[in-house]
Chain A
């Protein structure tokens, strides 16, 4: 468990160092995700890597544990709404309507594009 968590933190650390070091405009944990993914893929290719947290269900189990509580992790940032009550009192209705409209439009545009592209692909792929 400790080794698995350390591996996850280590991947994030590599990601942060990479992003800060090169001055890239992207979040460090996303690079950390890529590092962990590459490690898991490399383990399939080279069985000698399957030790410590990369063995059994080590890092996989720890990751599933974290993802199971993903929505909890947004609570502290969200409670920050108490600092913005004056703004909500002033523009609250407009703000909520705008965010709601934008989220619905985004959901429909994304799902529509995904389905359209995947249908076009299967049609092309079929003989």
Chain B
């Protein structure tokens, strides 16, 4: 009698259907809570989805590989979503063209700050060499950062984790930080969110203000380009 539910679980836990459903359900619940709290920064839907799903995997002793077989359908959409950023960019093209120069200067400064600060701090804290390398590209979107880590011979899965953690922290901290600093220019606020916290920062920026979302999306795309060039350079000069 007790065999039947167990074999059903064995069957379902190996199928992509279960893990895709879990991913969507948990996110939908986390997003509903975020909406109910009027998008409070600490109710970040990614943060709460991560620990709930993570705990679920640990309790059911499910491997990440099995989970990812279902979740990969969601993960895949990161690419098309990057292409889709063309639309808000197109719709706000006049505003973007008008602020092209501040954007480019802030891009170079922000991108370099993101890399240099994390490499210096990690070296100062005495983290192992492999960990420092894996942290260096943490401010760009997951797919790109993992590619950079691979080129460097670092650990792409550690990079992916540091990318998502960075994104969540950026998304949580950006609104209170900018409000406290008295910054009301939503172009600048959004741009900073996209440089520091890539897609998760951009998702947060779209929640706060449409213009901030557009500038964050542009920042995230441009940063993907610049960081691919800067990280190998920084690694050569900063890491002994």
A binding-site residues for B, Cβ under 8 Å: 5, 8-9, 11-12, 15, 25-30, 32-37, 40-41, 59-60, 62-64, 66-68, 70-84, 87, 91, 94-96, 98-111, 113-115, 117-118, 121
* Bound Cα distance A108, B196 (Å): 9
Q: How many residues of B contact A (CB 8 A)?
A: 107
B binding-site residues for A, Cβ under 8 Å: 23-24, 26-27, 31, 44-46, 49-50, 53-54, 57-58, 64, 67-68, 71-72, 74-75, 77-91, 93, 99, 101-103, 105-106, 109-110, 113-114, 117-118, 121-122, 125, 127, 131, 135, 138-139, 141-144, 147, 151, 157-158, 160-171, 173-174, 177-178, 181, 183, 185, 187-189, 191-193, 195-197, 199-200, 202-204, 206, 213, 217, 219, 221, 224-225, 228-229
On whether the beta carbons of B229 and A25 are closer than 8 Å, the reply is: yes
On whether the beta carbons of A73 and B81 are closer than 8 Å, the reply is: yes
Measured between beta carbons, the chain A residues less than 8 angstroms from B109 are 109-110, 113
Q: Chain A nearest CB: distance from B45 CB in Å?
A: 6
On whether the beta carbons of A27 and B143 are closer than 8 Å, the reply is: yes
On whether the beta carbons of B27 and A106 are closer than 8 Å, the reply is: no
* Bound Cα distance A11, B196 (Å): 26
On whether the beta carbons of B165 and A99 are closer than 8 Å, the reply is: yes
- Known interface pairs A71-B203, A103-B169, A109-B110. Does A63 touch B79 (Cβ–Cβ under 8 Å)? no
Measured between beta carbons, the chain A residues less than 8 angstroms from B219 are 110
Measured between beta carbons, the chain A residues less than 8 angstroms from B166 are 99, 102-103
The 8 closest A-B pairs by CB, nearest first: A110-B110, A63-B84, A76-B71, A78-B164, A29-B82, A71-B203, A117-B102, A36-B86
On whether the beta carbons of A79 and B196 are closer than 8 Å, the reply is: no
On whether the beta carbons of B192 and A114 are closer than 8 Å, the reply is: yes
* Bound Cα distance A77, B77 (Å): 12
On whether the beta carbons of B83 and A74 are closer than 8 Å, the reply is: no
- Known interface pairs A60-B87, A98-B121, A109-B113. Does A77 touch B75 (Cβ–Cβ under 8 Å)? yes
On whether the beta carbons of B118 and A75 are closer than 8 Å, the reply is: no
30 A-B Cβ contacts within 8 A? Answer: A12-B83, A26-B144, A26-B224, A26-B228, A27-B141, A27-B224, A29-B80, A30-B225, A32-B79, A36-B83, A70-B203, A70-B206, A71-B199, A71-B203, A72-B31, A73-B74, A74-B46, A76-B72, A80-B68, A95-B165, A99-B165, A101-B117, A104-B173, A106-B170, A109-B113, A110-B110, A113-B110, A114-B103, A114-B105, A115-B185
Measured between beta carbons, the chain A residues less than 8 angstroms from B228 are 25-27
Pick the contact of B105 from A28, A76, A117 — CB < 8 Å?
Answer: A117
- Known interface pairs A30-B224, A107-B196. Does A80 touch B157 (Cβ–Cβ under 8 Å)? yes
On whether the beta carbons of A67 and B64 are closer than 8 Å, the reply is: no
On whether the beta carbons of B189 and A111 are closer than 8 Å, the reply is: yes
On whether the beta carbons of A95 and B105 are closer than 8 Å, the reply is: no
Measured between beta carbons, the chain B residues less than 8 angstroms from A83 are 64, 157, 161
Q: Chain B nearest CB: distance from A24 CB in Å?
A: 9
Measured between beta carbons, the chain B residues less than 8 angstroms from A91 are 127, 131
